[in-house]
Each structure stands twice: as structure tokens, then as C-alpha cells.
Structure 1
Amino acid sequence: MKIIIEDVVEGEEETIIIRCHELDEALLQTIYGIKMQHQKIVGFDKGIIHMIIPNEIYYFEAVDNKIFIYCKEKVYESKLKLYEIENMYAHTDFFRASKSIILNLTKIKHLSPAFNGRFEALLDNDEKVIISRQFVPELKRKLGL
């Protein structure tokens, strides 16, 4: 693979051109990762609107028909539905871990098996999240196991 980086003229839009024989999963993840760096998500906290960078998000959780965005030290509320968030972050490092949680795989410190085929993820902020057994095969696929 060859990578070429060129300077752009002042006022010209930055452009990424990808030429490939086949658009595989790894390339799709790279493309969506680049796009997500510039796409912030809106979170609400005490009536104040916050623009959150996806890399700061540990996980999304649905609780009592509300969606919460968990970051390292703060929790925000989202007006989006969980399935909308799942669609927004398809082909990225976000992964459906259970019916109520979408987890950022880059925030996992380590995984360990739990009861009944489930997994437990310890996150960088020392929170624990359970991954339901029905989502374990997708987790393994995303991790290349």
C-alpha cells in the first residue's frame, strides 16, 4: 500500500482519495473513523447543550426510555434513539453490547468471560459493562478472534 500526502493551497478543501481493488471491512472502518472525527454528537446536561467528540464516549445506554452518553467523567442525555446511534456508528469502533448498550471498543481495558456465555468488559475509567451472549460473536468478529 502506498500513502501520498500533499499540501493543499490556501482556501482549497482537504480531500482524501482512496483507490483500492476491494472495499473490505478494515478499509470501511478506517473511512468511518476519519469521518467520525469531524462528526460530533449532541449531549444535554442540565439544559446546556454539549458537542461531544465520539472518541470521548465510553458507551451509550438506554435507561427508562432515555438515552445516556457516558464519557470519562460526565454523563449526558441524548435525544436520539439507540438504533439511530447504532446506525450512525456502524462500521466504527462502536459495538452493540446488549439491548440497552452501545460500547466503544477503544475504551476497553480488558475482557473476561462471565456467566452464561456473556463477557464482562472493564473500561479505561474502571467501569464494568456486561456484553450479552447474543452479541459476543459480533464482538469476536470485530476484534478478529
Structure 2
Amino acid sequence: MKINFFIDEEQPEHIDFHVRKVTEEMKDIAATLKQSDIQIWGYRDREVVPIKIDDVVRIKTESGEVYIQTDRDIYKAKKRIYQFLELLPKKFIQISSGEIINFEFIDHLELSGNGTIKLILLNKNEAYVSRRFVAKIKRSLGI
């Protein structure tokens, strides 16, 4: 496959694909490119901070509030979990009704004898997959 970059500071940025057939892989690439410039907003004290999607480790509901955790900080969010699910790329997966995890930040999984899954994140935090989401997680990971 031939790849070209045409640099023209006068033109708005866009990407064109010239292909014989659209495959699932190409659709995934296009979706990733489209979502790579999505930003979400986090709130801390009196600050409103833009957060890059790639920096998000998890989004979690706690005591009725939604929080966005990055590898550096934790921010409050104004959106609900279901709203984040609509705009996040495929590398984010819902593990319970109140938590979404970025799979790029998972160190390993611990499977228990009773079928539950504990996720150990790169920052050594833990997250638990609720029973309702175990089958979906296993399908996503191919286990």
C-alpha cells in the first residue's frame, strides 16, 4: 500500500482513502483517526481542563458523581457514563454500570474460580468487572 503526505498550510486538514474495497480494518482506522482529536473536559476546583482521550485511564461513577482518571490526576465530569460510551473509541470498554476502562492501561487480569475478573491497571489500581459484563469482556479479549 502506498502512503503519501501532502503538506499545505493553506488547506484544512483532511484524509482521503483511495481503495478497491472497504474492509473492517479500514473502518477501524478511519474511526480511530476521527476520534483521535476528541477532547473531553474535566473540572477541578474552579478550573476546566481539556483532557486528551489517550490520557484517560478510566471513567468512574462514585457517590453519584462521574470522575475521569488520567495517569496524573482525577477530574470531575459533567457527562454521564452512557454519554461517554457514545464518543469513546473501541479501546474503552464498560466493565460495570458505573465504570469504563481504557484497555491500554491494563497491566493484567486476575480470574477467580467463581468467574469474576479483577483488572490490575498499570498504576497498580484495581477495577472489578461486574458479572453482567464478564462475558462481554471475555469476548473482547478473546479469552
TM-score (norm 2): 0.87
Q: 1:22 to 1:141 in 2, by over 3 A?
A: farther
The alpha-carbon deviation at position 34 of structure 1 amounts to: 1.9
Q: Which residue of 2 aligns with 1:49?
A: 48
| 1:96-128 CA distance string (max 9 Å, x none) | 011110010111011110353221111111101
The whole-number CA distance in structure 2 between the counterparts of 1:75 and 1:101 is 14
The structure 2 residue matched to 1:137, chosen from 113, 121, 135, is 135
Unaligned runs of 5+ in 1: none
The alpha-carbon deviation at position 32 of structure 1 amounts to: 2.7
| 1:12-63 CA distance string (max 9 Å, x none) | 1232223363442x44433232222211100000120000001111100011
TM-score (norm 1): 0.86
Q: Which residue of 2 aligns with 1:21?
A: 21
The whole-number CA distance in structure 2 between the counterparts of 1:45 and 1:114 is 37
Q: Which residue of 1 aligns with 2:65?
A: 66
The structure 2 residue matched to 1:97, chosen from 95, 98, 104, is 95
| Partners of 1:121 and 1:128 within 8 A in 2 | yes
Tell me the C-alpha RMSD between the 2 structures: 1.9
The alpha-carbon deviation at position 94 of structure 1 amounts to: 0.4
Task: Give percent identity, aligned residues only.
Answer: 22
Letter in 1 for 2:136: E
The secondary structure found in structure 2 opposite 1:117 is coil
